[in-house]
Amino acid sequence: MTLEMYTNLKNLGFFQEINRKFLHCIGLSLEVQVDPTTKQVTLDLIDGRDDDEGFILKAVDEQQQKVFWDFQNDKHLKRIKGLGYIFQASESKRYL
């Protein structure tokens, strides 16, 4: 991942919301490091599945949350218009 892509995704609130809404509650955490010298971006998935409560954020950045919400809603509307659904169903359609 480039530094530019990382910065864009961070500014859109992706990392906070991926962690908050999906990963933390199942005991995983996406950690991002940027090397100050090379500017190389490294993503690590931290495994805390042995902790019953999983991870929590120190604080939720409400501005990032709103930016992500607006972006997500726009994308969802476009998927519904273009595809007729938001989430792709599995072949058996047992699970969304």
Confidence band (pLDDT; 50, 70, 90) for 90?
A: confident
Q: Is the pTM of this model over 0.85?
A: no
Backbone angles phi, psi at 25, to 5 degrees: -75, -10
Q: What percent of the chain has pLDDT over 70?
A: 96
Q: At 3, which amino acid appears?
A: L
Give the pLDDT confidence of 39-73 residue by residue, as tens digits: 999 999 999 999 999 899 999 999 999 999 999 99
Q: Alpha helix locations (H) across 1-96?
A: 3-11, 14-18, 62-83
Is residue 19 within 8 A of residue 30, CB to CB? The reply is: yes
pLDDT band for 89, please (50, 70, 90 cuts).
Answer: confident
pLDDT band at residue 91 under the 50/70/90 scheme: confident
